Structure 1
Amino acid sequence: MMHERVLLLLFIMAQIVEQTPITDGKVPAVIVFGDSTVDSGNNNQISTVLKSNFQPYGRDFFGGQPTGRFSNGRIPPDFISEAFGVKKTVPAYLDPAYSIADFATGVCFASAGTGYDNATSDVLSVIPLWRELDNYKEYQSRLRSFLGEEKADEVVREALYLISIGTNDFLENYYLLPHRSSQYSADEYQKFLAGISRNFIAELYGLGARKISLTGLVPIGCLPLERTTRIIYGSQCIDEYNDAARDFNVKLESMAAEMNLQHYGLKLVFSNPYGLFSEILNNPQSFGFRNVRSACCGTGYYEMSYLCDKLNPFTCTDADKYVFWDSFHPTEKTNAIVAAHILKHDLSQFQ
């Protein structure tokens, strides 16, 4: 089984490399902001219930070690970093096992459970987006001390910045708690979030970032945890949530186009995984999946974080047959497919 799995991932990575040839120094570092879709372990170092630094998380990662990634293995920034010839994994900034020498070629500031909205990060006491930016500023200072001003400025300017965030704003905040939904209509809230996204990217630009990829939302109403709330109706996707994700993506794409015109030298690409993810959910067999409704970990309907532990007797033996690892997060195989799509369709201009 392990041999088959290794061959499958090697095949997926071969497709990535074929679609996006390995570059030679054009992207010296990969710098990551966002939520659990891209968090490589920062939540391990803060006081929150939203952690994944225990088995079976990471069981298919290098050495079978849990790292704080919300998956059985690697997440999209890891695959993207490898495809650009940087390194196979992007370390978490708060991980004491790494130093500025490691971070100089790539670093992750993301925090699982966070959102654009500060109120979202408060729900599970995680790192808000503004704090991710503060950590990045600190990183720049450390980088200049380590590399010198000129070399550090080059890394900052030529690095690829990946931003993936927004799901929690809707599922753990707007549609779950009354405060924001009483203040804003769904359309107004999307505009509110898009405005925060614009300001965040403008700050990154002001700090020297030029190559930025902003990732939109997948069909969030089809996550197993959301389907479980409709279990008496056959575990159908929640159309209202999917519509919000789709509409929000339109706003982000429009905002990205405007910013490219307004900021000299900015190369901001909007990566929209909605269509690809819909295709995977509607035609799983075409991608080698057997299960799209439930996840691999536990019963697959509600388990996430501490509910998904090594003592749960229901966890599947082969995660590659599942689109989702836990009730909220994709498997490593899904992450590899999404990364390959983004590399081919959105990041090719950075080669």
Structure 2
Amino acid sequence: LQEQTQFRKKRVALHQVSHLITMALLVSIRSSISSLILVISLATATVFPAHAAQTPPAMFVFGDSLSDVGNNNALPDGFHANFAHYGVDFPGGVATGRFTNGYNFIDVIAQHLGFEQSPPAFVSVSRGDNPVSKGVNFASGGSGIMVECMDGTAKKCITMDEQIDNFKRVRTLLEQQLGSKDMTNKLVSNSLFVFTCGGNDLNNFFDKHSFLFPFAPIDEYVANLTSAFNSQLRELYEFGGRKFAVINVPAIGRIPTARALDVLNIIGINFERVLNGYARKFNEAEAAMLRGLSSTLPGMKYSIGNAYSVIMDVTNNPKKYGEIN
């Protein structure tokens, strides 16, 4: 059992979901199935109800491999996606650091909102390669709300707290570029803050506590996780963020490495059900936390993109989207 759970290293634990979500988005566009793009874009559509005519001035993206567009490329020992066959369907067939075969769903959301391109990775901004007035992507593959990104002396990813610190640096750059603190406040308050996080946290919890099933302290862990995320959102609110799009945790029991554990069902544990149960429990707690937070922070707007339902629908009904399971 221990060997099987080690198979679910965070290097691969959530990365395959990026392809599944992106595939769902792109198939929906090709097939003119608007419902799926609206489901995954719920966060942006609700925060910006007239988004077709009102593109937010900028997007600031935080999270994990579902959103990373190349930040991990700068980490010598990090989780990487800058090699074949990543990027085979990206323009030019280039592996950019996105943990998928082409565009990731942040790219699709940006296009859907009217941006010419997805916000650049923070690593390129910090080198001075890109302007920041249209937003920045801070996401890092392997990261999470409370994920520790160090493996001994090796830095594997960029923690959420570090991503928020990087946003503060970008905010300072914005003030310099715009020439006014008031103009910066206006841009940031009208911008969209997008999050994909929690999946790696839950996978790591499963790796650590699977031997305790069904007595693993998941309720306590989910409470700690939502409390930490609450604090992170409050910090961004204090630095001007007002519009938050949160993509909930996908059905992590359906990713390939989780399905590999189906062979252990013989011992009476349905690992897909366990992992999906963790995801649903966190998603419910996250939704309740966001309701409470928005009621206490004046001007805060949020919505939740239901990635869990997207993954379940695509994997339950692949033919509906022109795919084969």
Q: Which has the higher helix share?
A: 2
- Look up the match of 1:61: 90
How big is the shift at 1:118?
A: 4.0
Could you say if the C-alpha distance between residues 75 and 56 of structure 1 is closer, same or farther in structure 2, counting changes exceeding 3 Å? same
- The higher relative CO (CA closer than 8 Å, separation ≥ 6) is in 2
Per-residue CA distance 1:261-281 (angstroms, 9 max, x = gap): 100000021222212221111
Per-residue CA distance 1:124-154 (angstroms, 9 max, x = gap): 6211111001100000001110112233222
Tell me how large the CA RMSD over aligned residues is: 2.9
- Look up the match of 2:277: 243
How far apart, in 1, do the equivalents of 2:264 and 2:228 lie? 37
- Look up the match of 1:188: 220
One of 243, 265, 268 as aligned partner of 2:302? 268
Q: How does 1:192-207 map to 2 (within 5 A)?
A: 192-207=224-239
Report % sequence identity: 29
- Look up the match of 1:347: none
Q: How does 1:173-322 map to 2 (within 5 A)?
A: 173-177=204-208, 185-231=217-263, 238-291=272-325
Q: How does 1:66-105 map to 2 (within 5 A)?
A: 66-95=95-124, 99=128, 102-105=131-134
The question of whether the paired residues in 1 share the 8 Å contact of 2:147 and 2:200 is answered with: no
Which blocks of at least 5 consecutive residues in structure 2 are unaligned?
A: 1-25
Letter in structure 2 aligned against 1:239: R
- Look up the match of 2:23: none
**2:141 is aligned with 1:122:** no
Q: How many residues align?
A: 281
The question of whether the paired residues in 2 share the 8 Å contact of 1:52 and 1:68 is answered with: yes
The question of whether the paired residues in 2 share the 8 Å contact of 1:26 and 1:158 is answered with: no
Letter in structure 2 aligned against 1:55: A
How big is the shift at 1:83?
A: 1.2
Letter in structure 1 aligned against 2:245: S
The question of whether the paired residues in 1 share the 8 Å contact of 2:147 and 2:201 is answered with: no
One of 73, 78, 101 as aligned partner of 1:44? 73
Which blocks of at least 5 consecutive residues in structure 1 are unaligned?
A: 1-6, 292-351
Letter in structure 2 aligned against 1:38: S
How far apart, in 2, do the equivalents of 1:214 and 1:67 lie? 24
Could you say if the C-alpha distance between residues 164 and 242 of structure 1 is closer, same or farther in structure 2, counting changes exceeding 3 Å? same
Per-residue CA distance 1:281-325 (angstroms, 9 max, x = gap): 11111111102xxxxxxxxxxxxxxxxxxxxxxxxxxxxxxxxxx
How big is the shift at 1:48?
A: 2.3
How big is the shift at 1:224?
A: 0.3
How far apart, in 1, do the equivalents of 2:135 and 2:29 lie? 23
Per-residue CA distance 1:131-179 (angstroms, 9 max, x = gap): 00110000000111011223322221111110001111121x2111359
Could you say if the C-alpha distance between residues 184 and 140 of structure 1 is closer, same or farther in structure 2, counting changes exceeding 3 Å? farther
| 1:44 aligned counterpart, secondary structure | helix
How big is the shift at 1:95?
A: 2.4
Letter in structure 1 aligned against 2:84: Q
